[in-house]
Structures are given as C-alpha cells and as structure tokens.
Amino acid sequence: MNTPNFEEFRYKGSDDWAAINRLVRDRKSLFAPTGDSSDICDQKVSTFLTSPSQFRSDSTVVRLTEFSDDNRRASGAVFDALIAESTGCNVIAANLPGVDFYSKQSDQGSQELTRSQIEDLRKGSFLKVGAAVMNAVYYASSEFGVKSNYILLGSSMGASLIAGAANTIVSRGGSITGLTMAEPLNVVDRSVPKLARQFVIQPTVAGYSAMNPQILHDVSGSFQQDVVRTLSDFKANSEYAGAIGRNALLTDLEQIDYLEDVPVYLTRGGASALCPEDGFNAIINKFKQVANVEVKTFGDEKLNPHDHPYCLTVQSFIDAVDNVLSRS
C-alpha cells in the first residue's frame, strides 16, 4: 500500500521560537457568555486570544474547535501561537460547550451543554452550538479589544461549527473576511459505530504528526491522556459524535448571500473516507453560488493517498489562512 507524501505538510512557518514562546506565555483567556443558559445558570465557555509579534492583517482568525478538544491544553496554546506568528493575525479559539477538561473554574455547570443545544445536536444540527461559540467569540473580541472581522478556520468537526456559526456573525453585525473548511464531516449520513471505525482505522496519524515542529511535540500529551480527557467529557462528546454522523451541514448553512465574493478555501484528502467526495462536492457547489471559492484535493486515492489526519498538521491551518488572506 502506498503512503501519502507527508512532506507536503511539513511546518514552514515562523521559526522565531523565542517569539512563539512569548505568545504562548502571553495568551489571554476568559470565560465568555454564549447567550444560552440552563435552568440554573448562564452558559460560559473558556475562550482564548493569541496575538502575533507583528500584524500583517487586521482580520481575526477564529479557530473552530475539533471533536473533544480543549483549547486550554498546552498543545492548543502552541498551535495558536504558531498560526498567529506565521500569519500575522490575532487568533481566537473558544471551547465547545460541555468540553472543558483543564479548567479550574469552580462552577463547571456553567459550561455544560444546555437542553436546547442537545436537542439541536440530536437533529444533526450545529446551529445552536455554533451560535453559542460565536457569541463567546464576539464577547471575547470586545473584551480583548480586537476587531470583529473574522476568518473562520475549521477542520473536521470545526467545519460543522462554521456552518452553525456563520449566520450568527451576520446577525450580530460582524463580517466574514474569509472562510476555510478542511475535511467537513457531516456531509453524509452514517452510524456512530461506522464513524468511530473510520476515525480509528487511520494508519497515517503518526506520519502527519511528525510534520509539526518540535515545539509542538514537546507539549503534546499521550494517547492515554487524550482517551482520559475524551471519556471525562463523554456526555457532551457522545452528543457531538451523533451530530457529525448526520448529513446536515448544508442545511445549517442556510442562505449564504452574505458570503458574496468572500474568499472560501475548501480542502479534503484524496483518500479520505471521513469526508467522501460526493458530500464534499455538494459543499463546493453550495459555496460557488456566491463566494470566491478555491478547492484543493490533496493527493489521490491510490498513488498519494492523503487522509483525514492531515488536519493534525499546523501547516495545513497556516496555508488555509494564507490562501484567503492572499485573495482578500
């Protein structure tokens, strides 16, 4: 069996490691309200800002969180610092409701999924969760003093959040200056067991991870730690897993007239089973109705079989931001 050309994703960003370490040290955080609430409290999620040493754009990159991740992880801080320093953009990342493993906040209940969000996820929709995340980003933008003109950066389940969040940006009076989706998942219907098998049977994970810089390897946790973290937030993660198995991304996008001429960058791996070609093409056709779309399929199914785990490489995020910045 052929292996993909991992070198295509080797890190080529900033190598000013002293500056990147400063960005990690100076990362700001707060618990931002989402605009939703349970019977007992208002919902808040951990939200983070990383600012570059030198700005090359006044757009704010919003890195939408992937399945089960907690942006308070040391690797999350380094990941955002690498993106910020390499692109010259502020980077904001907000945790998913229900997923907060590292927080020391005493009121953990405020970060749980609300009943209405759970009901929405069970329909396969990320509209309410996406709106919650984006409301937290808006609040944090104001508190941090950064502009609300956003480049939405999402891979895997992060693409689902973009579909749920985009309308919220417009309704709040913000602007989208760029949008990227890598390996969107909820573009076909499939069972959770099938989805889990497709995630687990991915022999290329280590090859892609090796393309990240050493500074990221130095703080990355073990597989066992990831399992413990995922299981600790199992209630929320099980809801998210069920939602990404539904074919609802197009429905969540709704009307996208507000994306007229906005640069959109869509990517998938040529051998990806998690993001099948038919479902991916439907997303392309939707955006092409109004946006300035560029599409990249990495490799092919046989000779250079790039797969879903390319989303683990920080270079793929940097390239996505650079693509939309070059067309803004």
Q: What is the pLDDT of residues 67-93, one digit of tens each?
A: 878 898 899 999 999 999 999 999 999
Rounded mean pLDDT of the chain? Answer: 91
Contact predicate 164/129, CB 8 Å: yes
The CA-based angle 255-256-262, given to 5 degrees, is 175
Query: How far is Cα 261 from Cα 171, in angstroms, rounded to an integer?
Result: 19
The CA-based angle 147-283-189, given to 5 degrees, is 115
Q: Is the pLDDT of residue 227 over 50?
A: no
Contact predicate 255/190, CB 8 Å: no
pLDDT of residue 224: 46
Q: Could you give the domains of the chain?
A: 6-326 (3.40.50.1820)
Half-sphere exposure for 272 (CA within 13 Å, toward CB) = 27
Can you give the three-state secondary structure of the chain, one letter per residue?
CCCCCHHHHCCCCCCCHHHHHHHHHHCEEEEEEEEEECCCCEEEEEEEEECCCCCCCCCEEEECCCCCCCCCCHHHHHHHHHHHHHHCCEEEEECCCCCCCCCCCCCHHHHCCCHHHHHHHHCCCCHHHHHHHHHHHHHHHHHHCCCCEEEEEEECHHHHHHHHHHHHHHHCCCEEEEEEEECCCCCCCCCHHHHHHHHHCCCCHHHHHCCCCHHHHCCCCCHHHHHHHHHHCHHHHHHHHHHHCCCCHHHHHCCCHHHCCCEEEEEEECCCCCCCHHHHHHHHHHHHCCCEEEEEEECCCCCCCCCHHHHHCHHHHHHHHHHHHHCC
Contact predicate 242/117, CB 8 Å: no
pLDDT of residue 223: 45
Contact predicate 71/48, CB 8 Å: yes
Q: How much is the CA Rg of the chain, to the nearest whole Å? A: 18
pLDDT of residue 176: 96
pLDDT of residue 237: 87
Distances (CA, A) of 184 to 21, 160, 261, 269: 31, 7, 21, 11
Task: Quickly state the pLDDT bin for 103 (edges 50, 70, 90).
Answer: low
Output 46 or 110, whichever has higher pLDDT. 46
Nearest to 57 by CA among 134, 153, 130, 138: 153
By mean pLDDT, which of 58-62, 66-70, 108-112 is the weakest?
108-112
pLDDT of residue 282: 96
Q: What is the pLDDT of residues 148-182, one digit of tens each?
A: 999 999 999 999 999 999 999 988 888 999 999 99
Query: How far is Cα 154 from Cα 284, in angstroms, rounded to an integer?
Result: 15
φ/ψ (deg, to 5) at 265: -125, 120
Burial of residue 301 (number of CB atoms within 10 Å: 0-12, 13-18, 19+): middle
Query: How far is Cα 49 from Cα 30, in angstroms, rounded to an integer?
Result: 9
pLDDT of residue 170: 86
Contact predicate 118/239, CB 8 Å: yes
pLDDT of residue 226: 52
Q: Is the pLDDT of residue 229 over 60?
A: no
Q: What is the pLDDT of residues 262-283, one digit of tens each?
A: 999 999 999 999 999 999 999 9
Q: What is the pLDDT of residues 23-54, one digit of tens each?
A: 999 999 999 999 998 777 899 999 999 999 99
> Tokens 């996008």 correspond to what residue?
253
